[in-house]
Structure 1
Amino acid sequence: MTGVDPAADECARTAVVETTHADAAAARTVAAALAPDNTADIETTSEGTTVRTRITRETTGGFLASVDDYLVNLAVADDVAATGRETDDTAVATDATEPNDADGIRDGRDERASARRDTADADNDTHDT
């Protein structure tokens, strides 16, 4: 049998999904995380704070499966990028507020140990008053 299958639909299904992220670095991170999914049918790029993915499939079932997989992967990539930003933000805030030890290394052990001793002393006070 040769030629076009009359039962096959000749129209490709295409979607362009654009998402905006916190900053250009986050957009690049999300696009890089999604890059392994790029095929002849899926292409992801980033520009500024925008991630743009074009998905084209010949069948409706394949199209829906690809879009669904992409959206799940996008959500995970965005969560990971956001978690990384929060961790970086926390580290920056901690660096700015904790004192340095004599050797110049940020370390809050002395303050934490002192607070534990104070609490322990109050709980175990055996002095008669």
Structure 2
Amino acid sequence: MNISGIIRTTHHRAQCIADAVSTDNLSEMRTWAEGNSVITRIASSKVRSVIASMDDYLMNLTVAEDVCEKSIQTDSSGVMR
């Protein structure tokens, strides 16, 4: 049995977020940005693996969103605007 799913979320800086979360992708995951959406496909032969991957991904997504939003608030000298 093969289980797969797609998570699509909308973000102001979708490419930044896709780049950040894709570094933690497992071999059965693929993440990319399309416009203002971040799309991740997860597949596995085990339900528990899909659930664990989704849980980890959603936590990473939250952190990436915070980091990407804060990065646009900081100028090149590191001072918050």
TM-score band, normalised by shorter chain:
0.7 to 0.9
Please report the TM-score for the alignment, with normalisation by the length of structure 1: 0.55
Partner SS for 1:61 = helix
Pair 1:15 & 2:2 matched: no
- Map Cα deviations across residues 90-115 of structure 1 (whole Å, 9 max, x no partner): 2xxxxxxxxxxxxxxxxxxxxxxxxx
Partner SS for 1:86 = coil
Runs of 4+ residues deviating >6 angstroms: none
Counterpart for residue 71 of structure 2: 84
Between 1 and 2, higher relative CO (CA 8 Å, sep ≥ 6) is seen in 2
Partner SS for 2:73 = helix
Task: Report the count of equivalent residues.
Answer: 77
As a proportion of its length, which structure holds more strand? 2
Counterpart for residue 50 of structure 2: 63
As a proportion of its length, which structure holds more helix? 1
Pair 1:49 & 2:36 matched: yes
Larger radius of gyration: 1
